[in-house]
Amino acid sequence: MRTSVVTLGPLGYLGGMRTLLKTILAALLVAGLFTVGGCSKPAPVVTTGATIIDVRTPSEYAAGHLEGAVNIDFQGATFESQIGALPKDGTYLLYCRSGSRAGSAMTQMKQMGFTHVTNLGSLQAAADATGKKIVT
């Protein structure tokens, strides 16, 4: 019985992989599933009719917040009652320092029956997403 060994050389396997990757990338580009170029900004979040809620502490809010935002401190004693007074079918955009408290607030609001709640993340991320100014 005779066996054959095919030697591709040091770059043979890599060359084949490069060709395969180029083919896959070309297919993705044609399909529109992949783009080449710099980072593009995401589409702005629509704020018309939405209530923007800063869930940070009052002192954090006073140091700078989004224009038009209301402050309902997630860690405050009255958070649940203040949120409970809002219409459950409204649209709410939440933010905080890093997005963590806003995420927890969003979870709690959804458990309370709110259906249109979005965590915008940090103050700067929220400003970028909405186009709103940071004011004091």
Query: Which residues form the catalytic set?
Result: 96
- Non-local (6+) Cβ contacts of 28 within 8 A are 34
Cα(8)–Cα(51) distance, integer angstroms: 63
Per-residue three-class SS string for 8-38: CCCCHHHHHHHHHHHHHHHHHHHHCCCCCCC
Tokens representing residue 24 in the block: 């896959």
